[in-house]
Structure 1
Amino acid sequence: MTAPAATAPLRDDRRVVLVVAILASFVVGLDTSVVNVALPAIRQDLGGGLVVQQWVVDAYLVTLGSLILVAGSLSDVFGRVRIVTWGLVVFGVASVVCAAAPTGAVLIVARALQGVGGALVTPSSLALIIAAYRGPARTKAIGTWTGWSSAAMILGPLVGGLIVDGLGWRWIFVLTALPIVVTVVLVSRISGDVHPEHRPRIDVVGAVLAVLGAGGVVLGLIEQERLGWGAPVVVTALVVGAGSLLAFVPWERHVTHAGRPPLVPLDLFRARNFSVGNAATLSIYGALGMVGFVVTLFVQEVWGFPAWLAGLATLPPTLLLLALSSTVGALAGRYGPRWFMAAGPAIAAVGALLMTGAGQDPRGYWWSVLPGLVLIGVGIATMVTPLTSAVLGSVPESEAGVGSAVNNALARIASLVVVALAGVVLAGEMSTAGFHRAALVMACLLLAGSLVSAVGIRNAPLRP
């Protein structure tokens, strides 16, 4: 990518940029958090069992995780402001379709369309901050963005649960309308953007391989629960998905050697913190994806919590993330990200192990799930901002969009693969024993992320 103009006009609108970045992420986070508490109601209304519940989550994550790579390139080519605007419009239209979906299939397709909008919004919103801020101020801004974006995760489960219980699950998708309108208005007030001097071509083949790879693997993992491992659809999906993923890196190398811009600039991975941080992201966010999916289903389907109470019961991690992110971001900017990234997942792993004490009695929430979620929240808050700063602080500003996209894509893909595997871990249905197995999987993934960070991350100074 060619370096952007030296004037960096976004610095003149830093406050508006930060608010836009927060609201844009708020929209995506709100939708993600409300869907989890609505899954039992969706299953009761539209049928389909655990498979439909998984697809309602993963249809969104497949398009988000795979197209976010394309969106990162589009952000760097056409400008962060324009891509954020497009993403918000697509997300809003898809939300309306979700609200009106007459069948599980229509809802799943609409969720996939929401993922397209989310893919356009997510890397561009963070790249706006990267373009507008420098040094410790950037780390603090990322911490503020992380914390306030988490307000969506607070409002989502609680307000979403109340709406599901009072009005029905369809109304949860209406929640995104107001922040979308407000954000589009604010985006129009930003006076500048970051553009390269020359617009390179988009790597279409790389984008297709990414979509086929992520989608094929997830399709096979989820549908095997219904059809079996030997079903032609399952085998074909897994073969196509795995083959596409295996072909992705050689194709990106070919594109680079041919002098064309790749979907993922592999040179980014030469930066130690970028490659190690993304490796840690795979295991850590895989565990967090399991937390959001499994805990919400367990408290509703095994303990019989209503949706609003399930939302309230799963709030501790989000509250702690909101309370601690800015402080942790400032400390990581001063002392470096390494030990924050190592300690955070280890603390969260202890929390996951505590949840294996949950039994059939809902009163066990107070001595198993609640303390487990509190430790998970402390661990997430300790890790998230330093991880983001370490990864993005190691890439050039002109490639911040694609750098953010790679990290976000890996986080989403890790979550969607783990959710796709949830049926195997849970043996096809939520139960106490299945919940215990899922908690152990969470703990192992979190410990792996802690070890990778402790060994691999270096406290190199952020780029000035």
Structure 2
Amino acid sequence: MTGPQLLPCETPDVKLPRGSKGKTRWVLPATILGSSLGFIDGSVVNVALPAIQGSFGSSLATMQWLVNGYMLMLASLILLGGSVGDRFGRRRIFIAGLIGFAVASMGCGLAPSAGWLIAMRLLQGASAAMLVPASLALISSAYRGEARGRAIGTWAAAGALTMALGPPFGGWLVDTVGWRSIFFINPPIAAIALFFAWKLPSDGRSDGASKPLDLRGSTLVVLSLGLLCYGLIASGEGNGLIGGLAIAAAIPLGALFVVVEARSVAPIMALSLFRDRDFSGANGITVLLYAALSAALFLLPFLLIEVHKYSATAAGAALLPFSLIMGIGSRWTGGLVERIGARIPLMIGPLATGLGFVILGLSGKYPGYWMGFLPGLIVVGLGMTLSIPPLTTTVFDSAPDEKSGTASGVNNAAARAGGLVAVAALGLAFGGSELSSMDADAITDAYRLIMFGAASLAALSALVAALTIGKRSVAPVREPAPKRG
């Protein structure tokens, strides 16, 4: 996770649990608290990165791995996490994810070194890969009809509130208590969620639970994405030979993953979905758009804190308008998609997002927030708000109903993978230099280059929309969900 974001879609398959209806009153408290763990942690880590870097005297590459270690495990294992929930029960996997995340968070807070902190972030990501698919699955299995819609709406509203308040609250913790406190707040929240989760009814296995878990596919995803990230980060440090070899090794592993998925009895990624041009296009848009957003939101706090001397609290609060626009505007945009379809918003939204990145890039040298950063953040927020609901609609409309959960999982992973690769490539903009050795002008120049690169990715996603998204009949849009972790 690299900042406050919404995912295009995060909706599981629906299976009914065994147990009394009375126990469903604990579902929302448990899932809201459990889901908020990864989001709160992820949204405040970027604000805390300068403090963590100063504490350990770490390099830019280390800071990249603090973010990417988490995203690598989450992006790679989130599809397997859904299958594991189907196999062993979503309540059980949700509880395991809570415990794992709490233990990893304690490890992060007590980390004696940057290497230890990265290891614990890997464990956090693996735990979040169990929490994310289980949270909404528990809600969908506990409610039916209109009650399900209201429950998901309540869950999404709580996520939007967390999205808005997480960065400024995390920044305040960094300023007043220290960066370790952003990890120490997770175990108490997990404990309360665990208390509620124990009260949930046990759920049965799904129809496909007897199929084997796709462990080979999951392993190949971790290896290929991990080597790709390592190669990009090493190249950004100036180790071009090592970086090139790692990237070269990642390519055949990625190809082997496709072969394995094509032959698997129960693949984590159903390749048949990509036969639909709209589905392929929507996922391509997702990768590009979230790569742009992740890269921009990774570096923005560094510029605010290191160059313009904002406090961590102020840097977190700077993102508040962006978060509010996305949290409040998505419902209106969903109605717009119902009226005019997804194609036009999927072209206009990314273009507006790209314009916002250009504004941020041009204004980066100005320290004033109201004229220097707020206009660009508002435009980026409006552009993303125009983009997310149509992505949700397109993904679900282009997949058969029986594969809606798989389709949303693929799109979820695509968003995280796009951010993962983008953050790994950030070092290339610094030309092998370290943040600690760069003056304000050099950091600002790198920031401008990254913002313009993000604008290019957003514009490319609009082109992909124009070339791939067809004029489907308009269907009801599903409420977008806050990004977890």
TM-score bracket for this pair, using the shorter chain length: 0.7 to 0.9
Residue 63 of structure 1 contacts residue 115 of structure 1 at CA under 8 Å; is this kept in 2? yes
The match for 1:446 is 458
Partners of 1:353 and 1:11 lie apart in 2 by 54
Q: Pick closer, same or farther for the CA change 1:276–1:8 going to 2, 3 Å.
A: farther
Q: In percent, how many aligned pairs have the same letter? A: 36
Q: Pick closer, same or farther for the CA change 1:289–1:137 going to 2, 3 Å.
A: farther
- Say yes or no: does 1:286 pair with 2:286: no
Q: Pick closer, same or farther for the CA change 1:19–1:398 going to 2, 3 Å.
A: farther
Residue ranges of structure 1 left out of the alignment (5+ in a row):
none
1:286-322 Cα offsets, whole Å, 9 max, x none, are 1111122011111111111111111111222111122
AA of the residue aligned to 1:298: L
SS in 2 for 1:101: coil
The match for 1:301 is 306
SS in 2 for 1:230: helix
Q: Pick closer, same or farther for the CA change 1:236–1:175 going to 2, 3 Å.
A: same
Equivalent residues in 2 for 1:6-405 (5 A)? 17=27, 19-129=29-139, 131=141, 145-191=155-201, 193=203, 195-197=205-207, 198-226=209-237, 228-231=239-242, 234-255=243-264, 260-332=265-337, 336-363=341-368, 365-392=369-396, 394-395=398-399, 399-405=403-409
SS in 2 for 1:168: coil
The match for 1:410 is 414
Worse overlay, 208-217 or 419-428? 419-428
> C-alpha displacement at 1:142, in angstroms?
5.7
AA of the residue aligned to 1:461: A
Q: Pick closer, same or farther for the CA change 1:132–1:266 going to 2, 3 Å.
A: farther
Residue 291 of structure 2 contacts residue 419 of structure 2 at CA under 8 Å; is this kept in 1? yes
AA of the residue aligned to 2:212: R
Q: Pick closer, same or farther for the CA change 1:223–1:437 going to 2, 3 Å.
A: same
Q: Count matched residues.
A: 455
Residue ranges of structure 2 left out of the alignment (5+ in a row):
1-11, 436-441, 479-485
> C-alpha displacement at 1:370, in angstroms?
0.9
Task: Give RMSD over aligned pairs.
Answer: 3.0
Q: Pick closer, same or farther for the CA change 1:59–1:438 going to 2, 3 Å.
A: same
> C-alpha displacement at 1:244, in angstroms?
1.0
> C-alpha displacement at 1:59, in angstroms?
0.9
Worse overlay, 10-19 or 426-435? 10-19
Partners of 1:462 and 1:134 lie apart in 2 by 17
Worse overlay, 125-134 or 417-426? 125-134
Residue 36 of structure 1 contacts residue 293 of structure 1 at CA under 8 Å; is this kept in 2? yes
Residue 232 of structure 2 contacts residue 424 of structure 2 at CA under 8 Å; is this kept in 1? yes
1:67-101 Cα offsets, whole Å, 9 max, x none, are 11211322333333332222121111100000000
> C-alpha displacement at 1:384, in angstroms?
2.2
1:380-410 Cα offsets, whole Å, 9 max, x none, are 2232234234324544565444333322211
